[in-house]
A and B are shown apart, each in its own frame.
Chain A
């Protein structure tokens, strides 16, 4: 038996124990309630804050889509290459590391190597380097130097289609051309992923994420034909070299569908080396605007045929080559008296053309020019496309009217001119140009919306056929003889547009853009093309400078389509056509 005090003691002790146990349980209950408020009441808000902190938009591992030509030949792709980074905090002897890297790869800039001695935890030394450079540095196995795989754009055909394909900057941004215009499709889908970030928000290392092939960008299939593109570039290079020209460009397209088969620019741009090509970056074929010159007479004649204001047999007085109008004096190179419309076209008489334009009238000529697409974006969706400029006819003075009729006083790019020619070839129906054939997703499905291409009747089909006959004449009797192809009817127009000398502000006699625009076979046009040679030295006539290159390119295109037939008597189709009209 215990004494009574001890019993009391035990009871009091029990009470005290229960008080402490209850207090501890109360503490646990507070923790439980607090976890409820944090996780249930404030959970989603805290989660949002947390995600904002660690989730980064990333495309690690996923590749950009490829670009193919119309036959599925690869034009642009992405290959994994090494990017070199440093963890300067881990480097004990930055001077030694820097010297070793410099010895192995002198290409790496001194500025990048200075980062080695900083107190950062991470710094890029060189992004997307050549495999042999990274191999050389890897061989040294330097402390604090690491390698991360990054995608680098690679163009297997080197300079082929360079300006049109466009450039990707060293940090992976699409800068120009198709790469930029269709970046939304090509770019790998980004996804939010945890990033290795230290307390200061520095990226600690490139994340090697999970399988991300499903995030790969879409593949583009262009309307471009790699073979025709190649021939176009070769022909341009030869013509530019032969005539010691500044450059040149060519456009090949299918009049019936608006599909662009080639879009060539010389000097060539090799997009594999985006840094070394400042001069060649411009895509002149679609971006350079200028006064089109004689080739633009096609529009004036097309308007005249459409308005039915000329007949093939009539003769128009051409003022012996000089026509003083008071407000201006128009001069012709060939001094002629009376010429038929066809002769005016073939001799490229400015006087005769303006006389025809006067019959058409300002408004009609303006409207036809607009309908052909001048003054508007051609619509191949590249950033480099230009609109050109066509002034409102109400503001045209007589001099401006005269100038416009033979291709001055307006601004146009070569694609607009080629498309206008294709419109003639297509029986007066304008078709929107196309550069994209398909956009295929990772499952191989075409996601390019199938919309019927826009068709506009610009001139009547009779007018278009009359225009075609004139253009056939040009290659048979006129200045475009060098564009003719045996066995095939060729329709075309030469042009020698004078450029304004930027130094004098006047038209320079030796600053020309010599061009040839046309289509073939004229009786069933399959190919339309434009070739322009910029500032040729010596002979500058379009017929002599651009027509041979045009012929070479179009022949190659026709051979590719299987349309060249040596057995055909080239007089037969034209007779058939003449009978029809």
Chain B
């Protein structure tokens, strides 16, 4: 059997989701037990999310990529409205001081996760349409910074710095892939840096995180607490790890052990070996995702595939960087592994889109599908 990119992709995702399920149990059992008297509370919910994710994946397989192209603008506008609605008191469900959630009964929807997909679809369509006009600043650059910029403002108002950062990074990557001149992009980064610094300086909690990031050990009683706990848990694993369930980090020490910091617990319990497996999985996802992108002919599909792959793997990298103290704490989950419905379902949905795109490329002999609509 030939190792087709999308098969490797699926295999890696399967491995990550299974590791995630086990680790969600290991890292949340004690907290869940003392919170809800049910050690399986988070595992049960994660299982539900996995089933929903499989549905989302299957759904994505059956949707022709052209459908995204056709509805990309309405989807983007709808997602913007959803993000805006979070700012209305009573709708946005506050978690950890930020309104990032819409409550749907027993579950909570995080519109930011879906928005990232909408953004990629919008950019893929718009960049493909502009094509050779990308070098023109008012046509190729301005709209692609202004339109994601609206979302960034809304996200900053929630506030959700992590997603804002991801949106900004994705926009730059997509613009680069789309052929925007590098000089413009560098200019954009030069503008973005003071803006980001201003936002950090204006928000006490973000400033704390930066201080904690710069010198976590001397602030370990307050701002640096989470980073130091994360480093200690992560490092404790050494080469082989302490063994499943043996890590003490989740004994209330490490906040968000089953969500943003699940990698610290993986490092603690499975050591360097476990982390290597995770990194290899994401490495294969990058390779396969871009292989699919390279095998495609239609620029929209290429941008879509590259954008989705970039989104998932960049999130993984930034999550790992946060856990290892390389960047300040931001609130980015580890795709497929961290506990959380919105993230898992959307990640699997995007994998579904990628696999569908891979099938498109193998069917590219069919001239009907090659035709691009504008």
Spell out A's residues near B (CB within 8 Å).
Answer: 5, 9, 12-14, 16-21, 24-25, 27-28, 30-32, 34-36, 38-40, 42-47, 49-51, 53-55, 194-199, 204-205
Provide the residues of chain A in CB contact with B225, threshold 8 Å. 199
Q: Once the chains bind, are A20 and B283 in contact (CB under 8 Å)?
A: no
Q: Which residue of A lies closest to B314 (CB)?
A: A24
Instruction: Give complex CA distance A38, B264 in Å.
Output: 11
Provide the residues of chain B in CB contact with A34, threshold 8 Å. 320-321, 324, 326
B5 at the interface (CB under 8 A from A): no
Contact (A39, B251) CB under 8 Å given A18-B290, A20-B310: no
Q: Which residue of A lies closest to B225 (CB)?
A: A199
Instruction: Give complex CA distance A49, B248 in Å.
Output: 12
Q: Once the chains bind, are A45 and B235 in contact (CB under 8 Å)?
A: yes
Q: Once the chains bind, are B238 and A40 in contact (CB under 8 Å)?
A: yes
Query: What are 14 A-B contacts with C-beta separation under 8 Å?
Result: A20-B176, A24-B309, A24-B310, A28-B282, A28-B316, A30-B326, A31-B326, A32-B279, A34-B324, A35-B272, A39-B238, A42-B235, A50-B236, A50-B248
Provide the residues of chain B in CB contact with A51, threshold 8 Å. 236, 248
Q: Which residue of B lies closest to A23 (CB)?
A: B173
Min CB–CB distance B12 → chain A (angstroms): 13
Q: Once the chains bind, are A17 and B324 in contact (CB under 8 Å)?
A: no
B34 at the interface (CB under 8 A from A): yes
Provide the residues of chain B in CB contact with A18, threshold 8 Å. 290, 294
Among the listed B232, B276, B287, which residue makes an inter-chain contact with A50, where contact means beta carbons less than 8 Å apart?
B232
Provide the residues of chain A in CB contact with B249, threshold 8 Å. 50
Q: Size range of the interface on B?
A: 35 or more
User: SS class of chain B's interface: helix, strand, loop or mixed?
Assistant: helix
Q: Once the chains bind, are B299 and A13 in contact (CB under 8 Å)?
A: yes
Spell out B's residues near A (CB within 8 Å).
Answer: 30, 34, 131-132, 173, 176-177, 179, 225, 231-239, 248-249, 251-253, 255, 267, 271-272, 275-276, 279, 282-283, 286-287, 290, 293-294, 299, 302, 306, 309-310, 313-314, 316-317, 320-321, 324, 326
User: SS class of chain A's interface: helix, strand, loop or mixed?
Assistant: helix
Instruction: Give complex CA distance A351, B166 in Å.
Output: 107
Instruction: Give complex CA distance A575, B131 in Å.
Output: 133
Q: Once the chains bind, are B314 and A197 in contact (CB under 8 Å)?
A: no
Contact (A38, B317) CB under 8 Å given A25-B283, A44-B238: no
Provide the residues of chain B in CB contact with A36, threshold 8 Å. 272
Provide the residues of chain B in CB contact with A9, threshold 8 Å. 131-132, 179
Instruction: Give complex CA distance A241, B318 in Å.
Output: 84
Provide the residues of chain A in CB contact with B179, threshold 8 Å. 9, 12-13, 16
Min CB–CB distance A36 → chain B (angstroms): 6
Instruction: Give complex CA distance A13, B301 in Å.
Output: 13
Provide the residues of chain B in CB contact with A17, threshold 8 Å. 177, 290, 293-294, 302, 306
Min CB–CB distance A563 → chain B (angstroms): 62
Knowing that A18-B290, A34-B320, A47-B235 touch, tell me 7 more A-B residue pairs with CB under 8 angstroms: A17-B293, A28-B279, A30-B317, A40-B272, A45-B235, A47-B236, A204-B34
Q: Once the chains bind, are B236 and A14 in contact (CB under 8 Å)?
A: no
Min CB–CB distance B287 → chain A (angstroms): 7
Instruction: Give complex CA distance A14, B305 in Å.
Output: 13
Instruction: Give complex CA distance A27, B318 in Å.
Output: 9
**Interchain residue pairs A-B with the least CB separation, the first 7:** A46-B235, A43-B238, A50-B232, A21-B290, A27-B317, A31-B320, A47-B236
Provide the residues of chain A in CB contact with B321, threshold 8 Å. 27, 30-31, 34
